[in-house]
Amino acid sequence: MNLHDLTHDNHDRLKMKIDKLINWLLFLSLCIIWGSSFILMKHSKEQLSAYQLAALRIFSAGIVLFPFAVIHFRKIDQNKILLLILAGVTGNLLPAFLFASAIAKNIDSSLASILNSLTPLFVVVIAIVFFRDRIKTQKILGVLTGFTGLALLFLSWKGISFENFKYALLILLATILYGININTVAHFLKGINPLHVATVSLSFMIIPTAWVLWRENFFALQFSQTGVRWAVGEATILGIAGSAVATAIFYVLINRAGGLFASLVTYGVPVVGIFWGIMDGEKITITQIGCLLVILYGVYLVNRPDKKMLPEMPLTEFADECA
């Protein structure tokens, strides 16, 4: 090997290391952004109603993405517009209100982040029941494992009551909507650039969320008060970072490292959520951590690809629904 070949080889190795470092930085950024969304909702609820919080979150995300949506809109088949709106409703609008309503009723942010990790399990269930997709035994086992972990989690959570269970079900409903959305996008919007789906669908949500903000007297809030300004700021950050920016980062990561690596963010989100919960005074037991591990193992079984088809996995489209 001559000097030129050696230099070229070293350059390729350095480039590979830099690419891996960038991929991990993007990965960690997503874990932090999506994992922090639950604590932001918890703090914002002190001054904002659940509807104000959810509407402001999605409205902020839609406004940020609107300039991009104007460009992308022209590239989309007009016959798919209603499906794009449906994607915005099931993937962003309704889940935002469900999460905000649950956390407004004092569901711990750490518990919310754990329940959110069940999303990929519902993706598989809906794929089997409604879309008749062929799902391997391993993935079905993953679904059962995840639900086992969820059941143990509810039994181990201190202070669990019918009221808490009822509001926790709101989060479960949100994850079911995520599952519907992901399957809808995968089956009916497959030919559209996923980034176009995200920007256009979120931008359509500007209209209903603006109406909700008006109906909820958002503009009559005492913005001169520090607490109100902080709450509005946190909800806005939640929308811009947790919904708009995180979506863009996720698709960049998919393009750089593939859907398999990007989907592993699912495992990092509840870890960050639990960390913020502990920092905020929430009590987490070893048993509850064990239940989280059972849930995540179920998620792992659902998403583990075949060795023959390593690049593929069912959560390639899992972008703006994790916050």
pLDDT tens digits, 22-64: 888 888 898 899 888 888 888 898 899 999 999 999 999 999 9
Q: What percent of the chain has pLDDT over 70?
A: 82
Which distant-in-sequence residues (6+ apart) come within 8 Å of 38 by Cβ? 99, 103, 109, 110, 112, 113, 116, 273, 276, 277
Higher-pLDDT residue of 203 and 185 is 203
User: What pLDDT does 17 receive?
Assistant: 81
Task: Let me know if residue 26 belongs to a domain.
Answer: no
Task: Let me know if residue 29 belongs to a domain.
Answer: no
Task: Let me know if residue 13 belongs to a domain.
Answer: no
Task: Let me know if residue 20 belongs to a domain.
Answer: no
Check: CB of residue 246 under 8 Å from CB of residue 34: yes
Mean pLDDT of 91-97: 91
Handedness of CA 74, 78, 82, 84 (dihedral sign): negative
Task: Let me know if residue 162 belongs to a domain.
Answer: yes
Mean pLDDT of 156-168: 64
- Map tokens 């070229």 to a residue: 8
pTM greater than 0.85: no
Residue 298 has pLDDT above 60, yes or no: yes
Instruction: Give residue 51's domain range.
Output: 47-309
Task: Let me know if residue 268 belongs to a domain.
Answer: yes
Length of the chain: 323
Question: What pLDDT band is residue 318 in, cutting at 50, 70 and 90?
Answer: very low
**Torsions phi, psi of 112, nearest 5?**
-60, -40
Task: Let me know if residue 12 belongs to a domain.
Answer: no
Q: What percent of the chain has pLDDT over 90?
A: 27
Structurally, the chain folds into a number of domains equal to 1
Alpha carbon distance 288, 267 (integer Å): 16
User: What pLDDT does 319 receive?
Assistant: 37
Check: CB of residue 121 under 8 Å from CB of residue 93: no
